Every structure is written in C-alpha cells, then in structure tokens.
Amino acid sequence: MRRTRSPALATSLTLLALGIAQISSNAAWARTAQQADTLARQTLSQMTLAEKLDYIGGTGGWDVKPLPRFNLPQILGADGGLGLRYTNQGNDQGVVYPSGPSLAASFNLRRAVDFGRALGYDTASGGYYYITGPGMNMYRMPYGGRNFEYVSGEDPFLGASMAPAVINGIQSRGIWADAKHYAANDQETNRFTLDESIPERVLREITLPPFESAAKNGKVSLMMCSFQEVNGDHACESSHLIRDILKDQWGFAGFVQTDYGAIIDGLKAAQAGTDIDMLFGTQMNATVLTPSINSGVLSVATINDKVRRILRQIYLFDFDTYVPPTVHDTNSLASNQASLNVAREGIVLLKNQNNLLPLDPAAVKKIAVVGVLGKYAPPSGFGSAYASALDYISETSGLAQAAPQAQVTFLDGLSLDPAAVTWTHLDADGTTEVPGLTAEYFTNTDWSGTAATTRTDTYVNLNWDSDTNLPTDGNTASTSIRWTGRVTPTVSGEHVFKVRADGVIHLTVNGQQIINNGDGTPLPDNAIPPTIPQYAKITLQAGQAYDVVLEYSRRPSYIASLGGLTGVQMSWASLVAPSDIAGYDAVLVAAGNSNEYEGEGFDHMWELPEFQGQLIQSIASQNPHTIVALHGGTGLKVNDWVDQVGGLLHAFYPGQNGGQALAEILFGQVNPSAKLPISLERNLQDNPLYNYFPQFDNNGTLTQLSYAGDLLLGYRGYEKLGTTPLYPFGYGLSYTQFSYSNISVNPPVAFGNAPIRVSFNVTNTGQRAGAEVAELYVGQRNPRLTRPVKELKGFQKVLLQPGQSQRVTIELNGRSLAYYNPNRNAWVVDADVFTIGVGAASNDIRLRGRVLSPFRQQLSVTSSNPLPLAVQRAVQVTAGGQGPDQTDDVLFTQTQSTAPQVPPAAGSGGSAPGSAP
C-alpha cells in the first residue's frame, strides 16, 4: 500500500542542514584517467580472446559481467533515469523525481546538478554502479511517448546545458551516468523499424549537441545507442554516429552500450563502435564474431578497444574496491528535498486571469479537486523511467496542507477512479438493488457455458499480479469474466465510461455496446506492451438506473511492471458538473496524461484523453475560479477550453512531492519561475514539423520519417513561418514583474572561441520576491543559407527581492554564432553582423545588441564546444560543491516554504559510492 504524507512544518533550510550529513560529495576518486587506463591495459593483456568476446555481452537485467580472475565485480545497473525503481536486494523504492521537461523548465543549472546528485546518491545507496539516465533527445511533436524523460525540450542548447549538469551530479556520487538515447529517439512510433532521414546539418545543429556536451562537458561514462535507423543504419550499427562522430571527433572516452536488443547485425555493430551488447550478448559474441575475426574482416584490436573502454571506467571509478551497501537510504530527506525543489521550479504558470492566483488563504474556504490524477501519487509516464512512489504528497493533500483552514473536497463523481465507483445489482429475486456487481468467472475465453464461479464484486479493479482470493488463476488460455451491474447518475447529460484491461473488452450500457476493442491484443512490435485504456461516452438521465455489462477475456503478452497492468479496471463519471460546483471558491482540475496514456513503446494523441476538455468546459462555465493543472511530458490540446478557465499551469510530471509544490504555488508560498522548454500549439497543424509527421502510427505501417524541416524545430519554425503558438518557448508567468535595461556587448567583435560577454540589468518591479529566467538569443542578419531568425544561446536565472536590480552577464563563444558546414566538417561563422536579443521568452525580447564577425571563421568539431567556458564551469561539480546538501532554497521562499517529511536517513553503510567520506 502506498503512503500519502504531509509536509513538515520546519523550513527547507533547517531540514537541509540535517541533509548535509546524509549526502556528501564523493567527486574525487582515487585514480586519474591515466592510471585507470594503465590498469585497464594490464588486465586486457592477460585476457584471452574468448574472455574478451564473452565480456562484451551484458548479463542480468542491465549489468556488465564480472571478471572473477581479475577480482572485478559484476557491474550492477539500475534502470530508471527519473527514480530508482528498487534496490539490488529488494523492492526498496527510491525517490520519484520530476520528469525531464520539469527539470528543463527550471532553466536552472544548479537545480540540474542537485537533481543528478540526489539521483546518484539514491542509486549508490541502492547498491548499484550506474543509472540509465539522463535522457536528452529532442522534443519534435507532442506525440512522443518518451518526451517525459528528456531534459532538452525543443532546444539543443538547453539540452546541451542541462544534460552535463545532471551527469556531473550523478557521477559526483562515484557512479556512472548513462546518456541516452544516441541518437534521435525522438518518438516511439515503430521504434524498432523506423528509418529516420536526418540531414547532416540537422544532426549536428539540432539532434546531437546534448550528446556532444555530455561527452565533452559531462565526460559521461557510457552512452546508450537507440533502436531506430538513422539514414539507413540502425543507431547501434552506425559507424558515422559512433565511430566517426562520438569517438573520433568528440573524443568520447567512455563506452557505448546498446539499448536492450537494439543490434540486428552483430558484426556491423562491432565495426561501428558499439562496445557492449545488452541484455545478453545475443548479437556480439564468440559465435557471431569469431568467423569474422578469423577471416580478417574484424580485427582483434577492435575487440580490445571495447574491453579496454569498459575496464577503464571500472578502474576510474574504483569499482574494483567497491563494497555495496547493506543498508539502503533510498528515501532520504535530502533526495526528497531535491525532488521537491525541481517540482517548485518546474511547474509553469501559463494563465492567471484577473490575478486569480495566488489564492488568498484568508478568502478561500472551499476547494474542489477534480481528476484522479490529483487524488493519488502525482502521475508519471510508462516504461523504463517509471517508478511508483512509495511515499508521496498528492495534489489534494498538498492543498489541504497549504490551506489548513479550507475545506478541500475531492469530487469522485467527476473523476474516473475504479475503487470509488458506486455499483449496484439486482438480488436473486430480481426485485431489490444491492451493492456491487454480479461477477461470473469462466474457465474459457468466450464466456460460454456455465460460469465456474459466480460472486459479488464491490467494483471492477482486478490485478492478476497482486490480488489474492481470486476464483481463477488468470490463465490467458482459459480466463474470461462477465460483470453485470447498474449505475444511477445524479446529473443528467453525457457520462464517460472507461475500461483498462489486458485483453478483450466489451462494454454495454443500457443495451448499447459502447466499447469493443476487437481481439484485445497488445500494440504490435512492442517489447513492453502498455495497457492503454478504452473509453466512450453516453447520455444518461439523473435518477434512472442503467444496466451495465462488461465482458473481459484475458490475452497474453501484457506486463504488470513499468506502469503497466495485468488485470481489468472499470470506472465511470459525469462529464457534466453538478450545480453546486459554483459554490466553491476554487476548483482545481488535474488533467492530462499518465502512465496509462503516455510512455515508452508508443506515441500518443494530442487531445486530452477521457473527454477531459469537455468536463473542464462544463466546470468552467459554472465557476470562473477554475484552475487546470496539466500533466504529461508534452503539449496537449487546450485551445477548446483555455479561454474559459481562470488559471492554467503545466505541471508536467512533478514527482512524488509534486502535490506540495503545486499547492505552494497556488497559494503563493512559492512564486512560480518555470519557463516552457517547448512551444505549445494553438492548433496541431501550426507545429512547424506537422507536414513531416502529421500523425502518430502505433500499428507498424510508418517506416520512413524525414527530419528535413528540423532546422526550424519549435520556436525556430514558428518565427520563420510567422505563426504564433498558443504559448511560446521560454514563456512562463510570475506573481511579480521584471524589467530589463542597459545592455552591453563586450567585445563587440567575434574572434574564434574568445568569449563574448553580454551584460544587462534585470529589475524586480513588482511587490513579491521572485526568480526570473533571462534568455539570450542570437541570430545572423544576412545568412547565406537556411538559419533560424534566432536561437537560444544563453540563459541565467536570478532571484530578486521587490525593487532589487542585478547586473547579469551571459557569455557566448564562437559556436554561439556558428552553423555546421558538412562539406568542411567544421563549424563556420560567416562574416556578418549577429543580433543579440535578451528577454523573458522567445517572443518577448526586451533588449537588443549586436556583435560583428569581421571575416569568415572555421571552428573544429573536436576542439569547439557547444557551451561557452562560463557554462562549462557552471555544470561542473567539485568536492563540496552544489548538490542536495548545498542548495539555494531562498529561490522558493515567499512566506513559509516547507520541506517534505521523510524518515531520517539510515546511512549508506560500507565504503560505497555516495557515502560520506
């Protein structure tokens, strides 16, 4: 059973002082890179070819094989870049962190370092050597199933800044980070077969900068190659991506692991530079590779390089002497604090009509919460990044804590919760209604004959993986169930029925079949099939009883883990708000996606599921104080109701403490400071890439996808095409106001990689303390080829008290002005004038300057860096540097900003990564 908990009454700073003892820096390792390389070569020289070929195949779930002859342990990997799913000795749950877009929305490198340090600490404390994260692919369209994992948003510079900050935070704990997915895992549609046609400029300027920065500025230990084909080669078999760019041009010193089962041709992958074949070395092994070695097609030196790279990272991180902890501190105070802090800075305020927010705790006495996403643990996406929170603060609980004087009511009648639905059925005489449904359990798949067991079920919420005392064993070859019951609405109008099941479902209401999912099999070509709900609506009259019949027949291949479901759930709710909704001082609607509709292995629609938009319209038509908290890793359709609501926030997936963060923002205890890392479409057709990717296709028919338009991805395309998004990249409201003044550019002339410093003043002209993200964009005045009007090339977050001004300096370098020239294999800065724009959003430029490039300049792909030197320094972690144990919570404090309540840390035990020195 999951536990919902309340915020503590102590302040963040006080509790963080306690956290210093729990999480301490472990950035300094015993060995230098040269020493590690020497040890790796010594071990390699003693290995047989058979040992080497065996070593480049993974083992276990995510592990590197042990080498007992050399006293090297099995390198245990933990899946889940947004939280530790379990420890290496059991099911101890780690802290669930906010999603990648939440972190990106903070525009705060310190917050990214904190996130990494906390995740790294949890991983080390859980007994692991590495964590599969961060993810850093690009946001292209709102369909992307794994967009919720990625820290890049739609901008490569944002990703190139945030990714190494997370990586350095993770690796400061003495464990490996695993950058993924290299490259272009930007959508899940047919990810095993899709061939992406990506021009070289798009690769270098849009797709790859976060990975380049991970290699150059994060020195990431390993990088995971992805499933898709890129320009005709599977990513794990692409010599251009791995050998030419990653290793030769960028000087990547770590090793490349496959996504799990991503190799089709083992020889091709070996030649391309992939170093370890996960899970079990099915394609890169002695059987596959020895004939090519014997024939001279594949050299032993190539195999040696793979083994040496793996060994070097093992010795560099002292894993040969690592002692895994026996006591797991995976829910520490400081990690909870880091999760809470990201949520506070990652929730974007998009609309605040007539200053509805912040809510006045003295005036707001009755609050209604609608939507099951606000009732339990804050939602997350499905797949390998999914972690189910052991402890959490729901949005309903957060509101109750933030406003203890108010009555906070969750409205079950408007929310689809299988465990809160009222069902009845007629008794044996057929004359009296009694609670529950009649459930007939059959030992066949088609409800034929006489039921093996008939009983009364209170509701339909069956889980084959965890429930006990079930009449049948759930055998997919011999299981079907029929539930018969009645519902009696209290409001007249349309109602939504929802069924989630791992098999065939037929739902009939009042004799009308409204749901039929055919053969009930999972999505095709999917390694981890999700359990996606089906839903439909029907008009019902208040006070009238309606017969409901659900037939369910189980099918194989669904999974119960990673946010999936093996079982069946049914719920129903009104899409018409009751008349008393107008009597609430505020209504919070928790809307959007969750692991049921968004995640790994499938893409999703733009529209809100479950007719949520229709429900929001009904509520807002009666209560102008309706506030919507949107959840999901992408933009979603809001244009049909956004003009009717008083407030809108994009909460993304805010982690296990997200309910507290959201409530603090709603009541002004935290002044929102997040900015959108993506553009939100007014109409889906407005997205600049719509013509290249007009619809998602989870049925396996899409085989080719063009990236020809991606130089104008996101805000770049909106501006070039003259189209206005609903909410632009970099946009986000605050409860205060900021002005910009007095810009200077020094020097005003660009020479190579010499730094260019853009300075300006930011002033808080409002009445509240708040943090502003100052964004800097660069554009070429007279480009010779296609270039965006402007591109983000710098940002800085500053906290200002009312009336306070601060001089802000943002540094640029040669890459800030350059484009990639495929013919020269170099970055080129033309002789031209470059405009500098500074402001509060991509469409809100307050100051302008310029810099001159007096002649054409060429920058090396090897020595140039996507980050200016000042940003390179900012993403680093030094011993005793910023992390969950040294943070700046004053960014959040308005009146009383509290920390989450968690049990005291038990300590990591032993001499483990992440433990106190």
Q: How confident is the model at residue 7, as a pLDDT?
A: 40
Q: How, if at all, do strands 3-4 and 391-392 pair?
A: parallel
- Give the CATH number of domain 418-574: 2.60.120.260
What gap in Å lies between CA 345 and CA 111, rounded to an integer?
8
Candidates 310, 254, 316; CA nearest to 30 is: 316
Whether the upstream peptide bond of residue 529 has omega within 30° of 0, thus cis, is: no
User: What pLDDT does residue 889 have?
Assistant: 44
Q: Report CA 695 to chain centroid distance, whole Å.
A: 22
As a whole number of angstroms, the distance between CA 131 and CA 354 comes to 45
Helix (H, G, I), strand (E, B) or coil at 490: coil
Beta-carbon contacts of residue 864 (< 8 Å; ≥ 6 apart): 753, 813, 814, 815, 818, 827
Give the whole-angstrom CA distance, residue 779 versus residue 382. 38
Please report the DSSP string for 847-865 in residue order.
EEEEEEE-S-EEEETTT--
Q: Are 699 and 192 in contact (CB under 8 A)?
A: no
Q: What does the pLDDT read at residue 19?
A: 35
The pLDDT value recorded for residue 899 is 60
Alpha helix stretches (DSSP H) within 675-792: 715-721
Please give the model's pTM, rounded to 2 decimal places. Answer: 0.94
- Residue ranges of alpha helices (H) inside 317-369 are 333-346
C-alpha closest to that of 633 among 649, 620, 651: 651
Say which amino acid occupies 747.
P
DSSP-derived letter for residue 512 is E
- Helix 333-346 / helix 109-125 crossing angle, nearest 10 deg: 150
- Helix/strand/coil percent split, the chain, to 5: 25, 25, 50
Q: Are 289 and 49 in contact (CB under 8 A)?
A: no
- Count the residues in the chain: 917
User: Kind of pairing, strands 461-463 and 770-780?
Assistant: unpaired
- What is the rounded CA–CA span in Å between residue 913 and residue 27? 9
CA distance 726 to 657: 29
Which residues in the chain land under pLDDT 70?
1-29, 878-917
CA angle, residues 6, 10, 13, in degrees to nearest 5: 120
Strands 512-516 vs 233-234: parallel, antiparallel or unpaired: unpaired
Classify the phi-psi angles of 366: left when phi > 0, otherwise alpha if psi is within -120 to 50, otherwise beta.
Answer: beta
Query: Which residues is 776 bridged to in the sheet?
Result: 794, 838
> How far apart, in whole angstroms, are the C-alpha atoms of residue 273 and residue 284?
12
Instruction: Catalogue the E-assigned strands of 391-479.
Output: 391-392, 407-410, 424-426, 433-435, 437-442, 453-457, 461-463
- Euclidean distance between CA atoms 574 and 587, whole angstroms: 16
In contact, 255 and 309? CB cutoff 8 Å: yes
Q: Looking at residue 340, what is its pLDDT?
A: 98
Distance CA 176, CA 313 (A): 8
Q: Where are the domains of the chain?
A: 418-574, 738-855
The answer to whether the CB of 70 falls within 8 A of the CB of 46 is yes
Residue 826, CB half-sphere, CA atoms under 13 Å: how many? 11
User: Alpha carbon of 314 to those of 40, 123, 322, 401, 609: distances in Å?
Assistant: 8, 16, 10, 46, 46
**What is the per-residue burial (b if ≥16 Cβ within 10 Å, else e) of 237-261?**
bbeebbbbbbbeebebbbbbbbbbb
The reply to whether CATH 3.40.50.720 applies to domain 738-855 is no
106 Rama class: left (phi>0) / alpha (psi -120 to 50) / beta: alpha
Rounded Cα–Cα distance for residues 273 and 239 (Å)? 7
Distance CA 67, CA 280 (A): 16
Supply the pLDDT for residue 672.
Answer: 98
H helical segments located in 602-736: 612-622, 658-666, 715-721
Smallest CA-to-CA distance from 395 within 562, 629, 584 is with 629
d(C-alpha 449, C-alpha 442), whole Å: 8
Cis peptide bond prior to 677, omega within 30° of 0: no
Q: How far is CA 619 from the centre of its chain?
A: 30
Checking DSSP bridges between strand 222-225 and strand 176-182, what pairing results, if any? Answer: parallel
Give the CB-side neighbour count of residue 400, counting CA atoms within 13 A. 15
Radius of gyration of the chain (CA): 28
Phi, psi of 495 (to 5 degrees): -125, 150
Hey, CA dihedral for 498, 499, 500, 503, is it positive or negative?
A: negative
- 304 vs 323: CA distance, rounded Å: 28
- For residue 798, give the nearest of 900, 679, 677, 671 by alpha carbon: 671
Q: What is the rounded CA–CA span in Å between residue 578 and residue 573?
A: 12
DSSP code, position 302: H
